[in-house]
C-alpha cells in the first residue's frame, strides 16, 4: 500500500484497515503495485456501489426532472477538441532538480525574486545529498547567480539560496533549482484502428531531422501524426451528456429545465497522485448536467448546492466536516461563471469532494461549433425575450453537480472510522460507523458454536430469510464470538445476531447494535423489522 511517511497517522490506519478487511488493495500488488491504481475488494466494491446507488436514487429515480444515461469512455476525438480538453487543459509541468519532485508550476508556492529559499528534505541523509547537488548545480550553471560558499546545511535544511527569475519554488523541498516548464495534457491518449502510427512517426521524424528541424518542431510533427488516429480516455463523464443532449431531449420530449445524470469511470494522467484513493489516475465520477433557461443558472446553482449538501449530510457525514468554498475569479475553469466546491475535512485538512458549477452555455455552444449541428431547445409556450413573441429558441445553460465516487468512498471511510478506548486509555475497538445503507453487510448471523449442527442450520435459515428479503446478510461461523463482533465492527456491519440454544427453543436471538454494543434478546422476526427500519430511516 502507498503509506507515505508524510500521511497523517489516521490515514495510515484507514489504509491499513482497507487492506486488512478487503475494502481497497493496491493494484497489481504482487508485481510491486502500480502507482495510483487501486482495486476494490469484496467490502470496498459493496461500499462503493452502495454509495453510487444512493446517488442514483437521490439524483435520478426519486425525481421527475432528471434522467440517466451511460456514454462510452472512448468518444470521437473531436469531442475533446470542441470541449477544450485538447487545447486548453495543458498544465505547465516542472521537475525539481534537487529532490526530483514533478509538479505544476501554476500550483507551486510563490516567491519574490531575491527572497531566501531554504531547502528542506525529509532526513539528514537526503539533505546531505541535496547539499552536494545544490553546490554542483551552482558550479555547473550558476543558475541563480550565487556563490557556492554561501551554501550551508543545518540538519535537514540547506540555506543560502535565493529565488532569481522563477517566481515559485518546489512545493516539496522549497528549491529554486527547477527544470524548464513543459506543457502536459492530462488525458490518456491511445490510437484507434489496426495501423500502428509509429511507422509514420519515424518517417516524419527522419524527414524532419534531415531538414534540420528543432526538437520542438519535431515534437509537433510527431503529435500531428499521432493525432490522426488518436482517441482519448474521457477525463470527465460530463461531455457524454452534452453531446447526447438533443437525443435525450427529443427521445423523451422532456422539457427544460431537466437534467441528465451519469456515473462511471474517468481517467486523468495526474501529475500528483495523493492521499490513497483521493486523487488517482483512474477514478469514478457521479455527474449531472442540469439544462435550464438562460438567466436561471444562478438560481439553479443555489438549488443544487442545497440538494448536494442534504445528500452528503443524509449519508451521515458530520456537518462540521462539510463546507462550501466559492471559487475565486482566477480559479474558475474556462467554461464556468460560478463554482462552489463541497469540501470535506479529510485527515490532512479540508479538500474538494464535489464541484458544483454553472457552466453557462459554453459546452453546448462549443459542440455546435465543433459538430456544426444545432443543439437548441425550442419552448413553444415561452415568450422570446427579444421579440416578445410566443416561442423561444435558445441554447440551454447548464448547472453541474460533479462528485467523485471514489473520493466519496474515502470521505465516508474517514468519517465513519472511530477508535474506542477502555478505562485504562487502551484501544478497545475500531468501528466503522457507516450509514446502514452504505454498509457492505447489513446484518451478520453468528451461530454461537459452529460445531452444533442445529445452531448452524438455524443460523443459515435466518441468513436465508434476510437474503430473501433483499437484505445483505452474512452467515459467519469463524473464530470466537468476540473476534466475529470485532471483525463486523471494523467492516461497519450495523447488527450482529447471535444464534444460541435458546433460539432453538423459543426462536429468540441476541441482537447486538454496532454503535453502542448494546445487546437485546428479541424474536427473530423483530430482527428483520429492525434491520429493514434502519435501512429505511438511516438510523440504528
Ligand atoms: N465535469 C466537471 C469535472 O470533472 P472536476 O472538479 O474536475 O470537475 C469532479 O471533477 C469531481 O471528480 C471532483 O470534485 C472529485 O471528487 C472527482 N475527481 C476529479 N479528479 C479526480 C482524481 N484524479 N481522482 C479521484 N477523484 C477525482
Task: Kindly write down the DSSP assignment for every residue of 141-162, as one continuous string.
Answer: H-TTS--GGG-EEETTEEES-B
Residue 91 half-sphere exposure toward CB, CA atoms < 13 A:
19
Distance from C-alpha of 456 to C-alpha of 451, rounded to nearest angstrom:
8
Q: What are 304-310's contacts with CB under 8 Å, separation 24+? A: 304/356, 304/399, 304/401, 305/340, 305/356, 307/58, 307/401, 308/342, 308/354, 308/356, 308/401, 308/403, 309/342
- Residue whose Cα lies nearest atom 6 of ligand 1: it is 355
Provide the residue count of the chain.
540
Ligand 1 atom nearest residue 404's Cα = 16
Helices (H), 229-317: 238-243, 245-252, 297-314
- Residue whose Cα lies nearest atom 4 of ligand 1: it is 236
pLDDT in 10s for each residue of the chain, 540 residues:
333 445 689 999 999 999 999 999 999 999 999 988 999 999 999 999 999 999 999 999 999 999 999 999 999 999 999 999 987 667 788 999 999 988 889 889 999 988 999 999 999 999 999 999 999 988 886 555 567 888 999 999 999 998 888 899 999 999 999 998 888 888 999 999 888 899 999 999 999 999 999 998 999 999 899 988 999 999 999 999 999 999 999 999 999 999 999 999 999 998 878 899 999 999 999 999 999 999 999 999 999 999 999 999 999 999 999 999 999 988 888 778 899 999 999 999 999 999 999 999 999 999 999 999 999 999 999 999 999 999 999 999 999 999 999 999 999 999 999 999 999 999 999 999 999 999 999 999 999 999 999 999 999 999 999 999 999 999 999 999 999 999 999 999 999 999 999 999 988 999 999 999 999 999 998 999 999 999 999 888
Distance from C-alpha of 334 to C-alpha of 357, rounded to nearest angstrom:
11
> Residue 177, exposed/middle/buried by CB under 10 A (0-12, 13-18, 19+)?
buried
Q: How much helix, strand and coil, in percent to the nearest 5, is found in the chain?
A: 35, 25, 35
Cβ proximity of 116 and 162 under 8 Å: yes
pLDDT tens digits, one per residue of 107-125: 899 999 889 999 999 999 9
Nearest to 348 by CA among 370, 324, 321, 371: 321
- Cα of 286 vs centre of ligand 1, distance in Å, is 9
Instruction: Report the greatest alpha carbon distance in the chain.
Output: 93
Question: What ranges make up the beta strands (E) of 441-507?
Answer: 443-447, 473-475, 495-499
Cis before 188? omega within 30: no
- Cα of 265 vs centre of ligand 1, distance in Å, is 11
DSSP 279: B
Cβ-proximal residues to 423 (8 Å cutoff; 6+ apart), any chain = none
- Ligand 1 surroundings by CB, under 6 angstroms: 236, 238, 268, 270, 279-280, 283, 285, 287, 352-355, 400, 402-404, 406-407
Helices 405-416 + 42-56 axis angle, to 10? 110
pLDDT at residue 144, rounded to an integer: 53
- Residue whose Cα lies nearest atom 24 of ligand 1: it is 279
Amino acid at each position: 500500500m502507498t503509506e507515505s511517511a508524510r500521511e497523517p497517522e489516521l490515514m495510515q490506519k484507514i489504509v491499513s484497515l482497507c487492506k486488512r478487511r478487503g475494502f481497497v488493495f493496491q493494484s497489481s500488488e504482487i508485481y510491486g503495485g502500480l502507482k495510483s491504481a487501486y482495486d476494490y475488494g469484496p467490502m470496498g466494491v459493496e461500499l462503493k456501489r452502495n454509495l453510487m446507488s444512493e446517488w442514483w436514487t437521490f439524483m435520478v429515480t426519486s425525481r421527475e426532472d432528471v434522467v440517466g444515461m451511460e456514454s462510452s469512455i472512448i468518444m470521437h476525438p473531436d469531442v475533446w477538441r470542441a470541449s477544450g480538453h485538447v487545447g486548453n487543459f495543458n498544465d505547465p509541468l516542472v521537475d525539481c532538480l534537487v529532490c526530483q519532485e514533478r509538479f505544476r508550476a501554476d500550483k507551486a508556492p510563490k516567491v519574490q525574486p531575491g527572497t531566501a529559499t531554504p531547502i528542506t528534505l525529509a532526513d539528514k541523509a537526503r539533505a546531505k545529498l541535496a547539499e552536494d547537488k545544490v553546490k554542483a548545480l551552482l558550479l555547473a550553471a550558476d543558475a541563480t547567480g550565487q556563490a557556492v560558499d554561501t551554501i550551508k546545511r543545518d540538519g535537514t535544511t540547506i540555506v543560502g539560496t535565493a529565488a532569481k527569475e522563477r517566481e515559485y519554488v518546489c512545493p516539496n523541498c522549497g528549491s529554486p533549482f527547477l527544470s524548464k516548464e513543459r506543457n502536459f495534457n492530462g488525458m490518456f491518449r491511445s490510437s484507434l484502428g489496426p495501423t500502428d502510427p509509429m511507422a509514420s512517426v519515424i518517417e516524419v521524424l527522419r524527414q524532419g531531422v534531415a531538414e534540420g528541424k528543432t526538437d520542438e518542431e519535431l515534437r509537433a510533427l510527431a503529435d500531428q501524426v499521432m493525432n490522426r488516429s488518436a482517441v482519448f480516455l474521457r477525463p470527465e463523464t460530463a461531455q457524454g451528456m452534452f453531446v447526447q443532449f438533443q437525443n435525450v431531449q427529443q427521445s423523451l420530449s422532456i422539457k427544460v429545465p431537466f437534467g441528465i445524470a451519469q456515473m462511471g469511470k474517468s481517467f486523468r494522467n495526474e501529475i500528483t497522485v495523493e492521499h490513497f484513493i483521493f486523487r488517482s489516475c483512474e477514478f469514478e465520477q457521479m455527474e449531472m448536467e442540469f439544462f435550464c433557461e438562460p438567466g436561471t443558472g444562478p438560481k439553479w446553482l443555489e438549488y443544487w448546492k442545497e440538494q448536494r449538501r442534504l445528500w452528503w449530510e443524509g449519508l451521515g457525514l458530520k456537518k462540521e466536516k462539510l463546507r462550501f468554498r466559492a471559487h475565486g475569479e482566477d480559479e474558475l475553469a474556462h467554461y464556468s461563471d460560478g463554482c462552489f466546491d463541497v469540501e470535506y475535512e479529510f485527515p490532512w485538512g479540508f479538500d474538494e469532494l464535489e464541484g458544483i458549477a454553472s457552466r453557462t452555455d459554453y459546452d453546448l455552444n462549443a459542440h455546435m461549433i465543433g459538430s456544426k449541428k444545432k443543439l437548441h431547445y425550442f419552448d413553444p409556450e415561452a415568450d422570446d425575450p427579444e421579440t416578445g413573441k410566443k416561442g423561444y429558441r435558445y441554447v440551454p445553460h447548464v448547472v453541474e453537480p460533479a462528485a467523485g465516487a471514489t473520493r466519496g468512498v474515502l470521505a465516508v471511510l474517514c468519517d465513519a472510522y472511530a477508535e474506542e478506548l477502555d478505562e485504562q486509555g487502551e484501544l478497545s475497538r475500531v468501528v466503522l460507523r457507516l450509514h446502514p445503507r452504505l454498509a457492505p453487510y447489513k446484518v451478520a448471523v453468528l451461530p454461537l458454536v459452529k460445531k452444533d449442527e442445529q445452531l448452524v442450520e438455524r443460523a443459515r435459515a435466518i441468513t436465508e430469510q434476510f437474503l430473501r428479503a433483499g437484505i445483505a446478510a452474512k452467515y459467519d461461523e469463524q473464530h470466537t464470538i468476540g473476534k466475529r463482533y470485532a471483525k463486523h465492527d471494523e467492516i461497519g456491519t450495523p447488527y450482529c445476531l447471535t444464534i444460541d440454544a435458546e433460539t432453538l427453543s423459543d426462536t429468540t436471538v441476541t441482537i447486538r447494535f454496532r454503535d453502542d454494543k448494546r445487546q437485546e434478546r428479541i424474536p427473530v422476526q423483530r430482527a428483520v423489522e429492525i434491520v429493514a427500519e434502519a435501512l429505511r430511516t438511516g438510523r440504528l
